[in-house]
Amino acid sequence: MTVGVVVPAAGAGIRLGPGSPKALRVLAGEPLLVHAVRRLRACPSIGPVVVAAPPAAVAEVVALLAAYAVTVVPGGAERQDSVAAALAALPAEVELVLVHDAARALVPVEVVEAVVSALRDGADAVVPVLPVADTVKQVGVGGEVLGTVPREDLRLVQTPQGFRREVLEAAHRAAPGSLTDDAGLVEAAGVTVHTVLGSAEAFKVTTPFDLLVAEAVLARG
């Protein structure tokens, strides 16, 4: 079964501070998006890749990724719109789809391959997860603690998230409003989402501090 990847990369990256769109911010001399696509291309299971680029930067992204055989489409106003635009551009032969945030630029090949393996073993939907290290509290509007959530039951969810293509497309057609991940859409459609172990290195670059961490990870090799 052919595995395709859609890469939502059209976010502004407001939390990184002023500057170019997040996927084009430079990490160790190259844009985050180039790091992310290079990692995906290093995965033996991966076929077609479609990137949803910031609409004003489509030509720039095409040039940046010329060496990686990807299709580039303009992204949308919300992450979900960008994923939908990229999904529509995947070739017909793709049966298994991964959705991978460009911002998770340092995802290890092993995580990508674990998601693909779970799909090949028959899962409809798979997400990489990590245990929660901190104690988690629910708070009210005034910041007062309402309760402590047992962290043993919680997981932090990363990308790539993997789906049988028809499952993801049906969930997008039925989209119940804007969610922050694709597994959420599939859950809302009643599909069981499985988990595999993620990696600390698959963290999402969101803040200037995250860029420092990413530089340290790359420098370590």
Asked if 165 interacts with ligand C5P (CB under 6 A), we say no
Asked if 23 interacts with ligand C5P (CB under 6 A), we say yes
Q: Label the pairing between strands 161-164 and 94-99.
A: antiparallel
Q: Determine the residue type at 6.
A: V
**From residue 97 to residue 136, what is the string marking binding to ligand C5P with x (rule CB under 6 A)?**
----xxx---------------------------------
Asked if 31 interacts with ligand C5P (CB under 6 A), we say no
Of 34, 5, 29, 10, which is closest to residue 161 (Cα–Cα)?
Answer: 5
Asked if 75 interacts with ligand C5P (CB under 6 A), we say yes
d(CA 137, CA 159): 25
SS3 131: strand
Is residue 208 reached through a cis peptide bond, with omega within 30 degrees of 0 on the bond before it?
Answer: no
**Residue carrying structure tokens 């459609």:** 189
Contact residues for 94 (Cβ-Cβ < 8 A; gap 6+): 2, 3, 4, 47, 48, 165
Asked if 39 interacts with ligand C5P (CB under 6 A), we say no
Asked if 76 interacts with ligand C5P (CB under 6 A), we say yes
What is the smallest separation between the CB atom of 95 and ligand C5P, expressed in angstroms?
A: 23
Asked if 5 interacts with ligand C5P (CB under 6 A), we say no
Taking CB under 6 A as the binding criterion, the range among 5-13, 40-48, 121-129, 188-196 that sits at the site for ligand C5P is 5-13
Binding site for ligand C5P (CB under 6 A): 8-11, 22-23, 52, 75-79, 82, 101-103, 180, 204, 206
